[in-house]
Each structure stands twice: as C-alpha cells, then as structure tokens.
Amino acid sequence: MSSGLLSIAEARARIAEAVAPLDVDSVALDDACGRVLGEEIVAEHDVPPFDNSAMDGFAVRAGSGGRLLLVDESRAGRGAAVTLGPEEAIRISTGAPLPAGADAVVPIERASVEGDMVALDAPAEPGANVRRAGEDMPAGTVVVTAGTPLGPAELAAIAAAGRGTVSCGRRPRVAVLVTGDELVPAGARLGEGQIHNTNEPALAALTRAAGAELVLRRHVGDDADQTRAAISAALEVADVIAVSGGVSVGPHDHVKSSLIELGVEQRFWGVALKPGKPTWFGARGRQLAFGLPGNPVSAFVCFALFVRPALRALQGAAFEPRRGIARLDTSVQRSRDREQALRVTLDARADGLFARPTGAQGSHVITSLLGADALAMIAAGDGQAARGDEIEIELL
Ligand code: AMP
Ligand code: MG
C-alpha cells in the first residue's frame, strides 16, 4: 500500500464521481437550517414590497420647507388615508408606507412640532430617507440558488422572497459502525487493555452536523462474521456507511473484505495523507462506504476531508469544500510522502491570517482536535514548511 497512495485531491475526485445527489424533500423554513437548497428561490414580489420610510419622521414633498400642516399619520402596517398635498406633512414611522404624494422623509430630529404644524430645519432632497420597493429584491430575481447551504441569512432572504416552504436535498441516511475488541462505551469502567469508544460519539455527531440522519450505529468486535453481519444490516438501511477501525493490514482487520464480499466495489484504498493513510472507499450502486482508520484523530480528519463533502454533495451542495489561505505561525516538519492535515487554530492579525497547530499532532492525540478551527494542509516533501509560509486551510 505504500506505493500507489492517492493524493487527497484524487481520492476526493473518486468520491465525487460516485455521488449521485438524492431526491428532494419539501421542508418548512423553520426546519431548513443546515439543509441544502434543492431549488432556485425567486422573489415572488418586490422586496421591500412598497416604498417606505427609513426613519421615524415626516413624509413630505421634496423641496417643501418652513411650516407644514400635519394631516395624517402612516404607521408600520397601516398607511395614511389621505394623499399628501402641498404645504402638508404626514407623520411616518420606520417601515411605514410612503403616502401618496410624498417623495421624501424628514427625520424627527430635523423638525419640530407645534400643535398641528411641523417646522422643518431644511427642505428635503427627493428620495431622502425613502426605501424604494424592490430595492433589495426586485420581483422575479433569483435570491438563493440551488445547492446553497441554508443558514439563518438564507432563511431570512427566502422568507422575504415570500416562501414558507422550500425543497431541500433529502438527508442522507448514515450508518456508523465502529470496530475493535478493546472498545467500551463512554461512561463505562475500563478493564485491562480497554479504551473508551471515542469514534462512535464523534462520528455520530459529525454525521448529524453534516445534515445527515444517523439511522444505525453499532459497535462490533474484531470478528469477520460480526463485521459482515453489521455491514450487511447497514447496507439494508443506509445511503452511506462509515466504519472506523479494522481497515489496515492486521490479522484482525475484517472491514475491507466484508465490504467487498457484500458487493461494495473498492474505489480506493490508501491516501497520501497524514493522518489517514489506510482510508478505504467503495460504492455499491448509489450506496457509498467509507472505511476510516481507527485512530480517533484519523477517523475525525478523514470524515472531515472525505465523508462530510460526500454527505453535503448527496444533499445537492457542491462537493469541493471551501478552502482559504493562511500563513503558518510556526515551522512544521514536512512528511516525505504524505500531505499532512494539521489541526490548527486561526488567528486574524494585522499582518494576515495565521494558523497555529493545536499541539502534538499524533493520530491518537484526541486533544489535538480541541479548539481546532481548521485543517492546515502541508504538502509532502523534505525539510520544513517555514513560519510565514502560505498554506491552504479547510475550515472545520
Ligand atoms: P485500527 O484501525 O482498528 O487498527 O485502530 C487503530 C487505533 O485506533 C487503535 O489504537 C485502536 O484502539 C484505536 N481505535 C479504533 N477504534 C476506536 C474507537 N472507536 N474509539 C477510540 N479508539 C479507537
Ligand atoms: Mg481495531
């Protein structure tokens, strides 16, 4: 396996090739945060829907000055009943409809009321403090495109565009299997040689954070029959299977052979990545299966680099995660033949965005995940990546 390792980019290309986006669900806006939009959202009407005031003040005709007669009021949700005439003003609140006949608003701070008259400090310019209909979204314009991940900002824009329900890519159904005779559940007492099963809670949470639905989770021992039975059960219910551990070349590693026996076709095994070299990927029809390394950091990093993009792409998002550029805050020893995915914190300073490793980076060092903002990708090679070097980062 040491020869023929795929680059991260090649591995991703093979995954992307195997992804066929799932169908769409109709989703109420309140349930759509974190989902991927499966249609184009077009403004059903102008936004704002009508000309309205940007300030609390007085609606007037531009150019009129001096003392004006107050003839009505326009409030948010209830406009004035009259048309504004010359030498007249109408009280107006922020967001209230601009009355017919008015074309400017004088803020309350620039006017003084005396009985039923208002005196303006100065005449208003045409359009002053008026928000025009359609200024934000003219009716018929595309507001949010298909494939966009929905966050609070998108929900606000979609609601403004007039929609209460949207099509979103169906949540992929995911099975998380962890292998290892040494594992005991979180919270249980450790016996001789045992460790806590940390991948199961981590992978379950990563799955949900990617907008997917966890439909099965199971711990299996290092036993070929058990492994095959669990994978078989997973293939019954899941779009995506993520298995941790048992994917290397040891005598107790049964994951690859079980997947292949059950009809999952290997698409790659082995990535020039540190941590994460033994990562395995295969497909059976539209179902995808990932064999993730057992080491907790490797499992986490490989999920972030390979599984998460697949889960998002299944929901209709672009496969390629967004990357950025940062500068190393410290020198880093390169790995001769593997790209490294360092867990880093990011610090925005006057002289740029700096990435600093979270500490020791061993694939068993779970604490290296704590507080990590991003993965910093360090190309393979000899010597060191120097402090100040520009590197690619991928946000976690
Ligand atoms: P494996 O890939 O099965 O050879 O496991 C590699 C390393 O990861 C070993 O030290 C395992 O004990 C550890 N490991 C495997 N699975 C888990 C898990 N679910 N939680 C924590 N550590 C694990
Ligand atoms: Mg194992």
Digit-coded pLDDT (tens) for 253-276? 899 999 999 999 999 999 999 999
Report the separation in Å between the CA atom of 294 and the middle of ligand 2, taken as the mean of its atom positions: 6
| Tokens read off for 121 | 């400090």
Q: Which atom of ligand 1 is nearest to the CA of 295?
A: 8
Residue 291 CB–ligand 1 contact under 6 Å: no
Residue 178 CB–ligand 1 contact under 6 Å: yes
Task: Tell me the mean pLDDT in the region 190-198.
Answer: 98
Q: Work out the pLDDT band at 249, boundaries 50, 70, 90.
A: confident
Q: Which atom of ligand 1 is nearest to the CA of 298?
A: 8
pLDDT digits (tens, 9 = 90+) for 70-95: 999 999 999 999 999 999 999 999 99
Q: Work out the pLDDT band at 4, boundaries 50, 70, 90.
A: confident
User: From CA 243, how far away is CA 176, in angstroms rounded?
Assistant: 6
**pLDDT attached to residue 1:** 43
Whether residue 175 has pLDDT greater than 80: yes
Please count the CA atoms within 13 angstroms of the CA of 252 that sit on its side-chain side: 10
Residue 194 CB–ligand 1 contact under 6 Å: no
**pLDDT attached to residue 33:** 96
Place of tokens 């967004």: 322
Whether residue 371 has pLDDT greater than 80: yes
Lowest mean pLDDT among 158-162, 222-226, 250-254, 322-326: 250-254
Percent of residues, the chain, with pLDDT higher than 90 = 96
User: From CA 328, how far away is CA 342, in angstroms rounded?
Assistant: 11
Whether residue 326 has pLDDT greater than 50: yes
Q: Which of 156, 97, 92 shows the shortest CA–CA distance to 132?
A: 97
- Residue whose Cα lies nearest atom 17 of ligand 1: it is 294
Q: Work out the pLDDT band at 248, boundaries 50, 70, 90.
A: confident
Residue 282 CB–ligand 1 contact under 6 Å: no
**pLDDT attached to residue 3:** 53
Task: Tell me the mean pLDDT in the region 3-26.
Answer: 95
For residue 187, give every residue at least 6 positions away whose Cβ sits within 8 Å of its Cβ, in sequence order, or none: none
Q: Would strands 384-385 and 332-333 be described as parallel, antiparallel, or unpaired?
A: antiparallel
Report the separation in Å between the CA atom of 178 and the middle of ligand 2, taken as the mean of its atom positions: 9
Surrounding ion ligand 2 within 5 Å at CB are: 180, 245-246, 294
Q: Which atom of ligand 1 is nearest to the CA of 278?
A: 2
**pLDDT attached to residue 36:** 98
Cα three-residue angle 160-166-170, rounded to 5 degrees: 150
Q: How many CB atoms lie within 10 A of CB 202?
A: 20
